[in-house]
Amino acid sequence: MRRLLARRMKFHLFGAFFVSLGCAALYKFGVADPRKRAYAEFYKNYDPMKDFEAMRAAGVFESAPPK
């Protein structure tokens, strides 16, 4: 029973490290990278003036009334 806590703590410490490393990798490749690609694809063809004119025509802005 000697050093039982130290042995178990070492095992759990390494296990927790590898589980957290796996979760971080899953988040990066499963969420962050696809999100970055989606934003890049959206802004590749995005025209802010066209979007502004569409919102202006719809009457979204108070300071820029529709024409």
Render each residue's pLDDT in the chain as its tens digit; 67 residues.
788 998 999 999 999 999 999 999 999 999 999 999 999 999 999 999 999 999 999 999 989 888 7
DSSP for 1-61, written as a single string = -TTHHHHHHHHHHHHHHHHHHHHHHHHIIIIIHHHHHHHHHHHHS--HHHHHHHHHHHT--
Domain around 14: 2-56
pLDDT at 65: 87
Within a domain: 67:
no
pLDDT at 64: 86
Within a domain: 27:
yes
Give the chain's domain count. 1
pLDDT at 29: 98
Within a domain: 46:
yes
Its pTM stands at 0.68
Within a domain: 66:
no
pLDDT at 3: 87
For CA atoms 20, 23, 29, 33, give the dihedral sign: negative
- What's 27's domain CATH number? 4.10.93.10
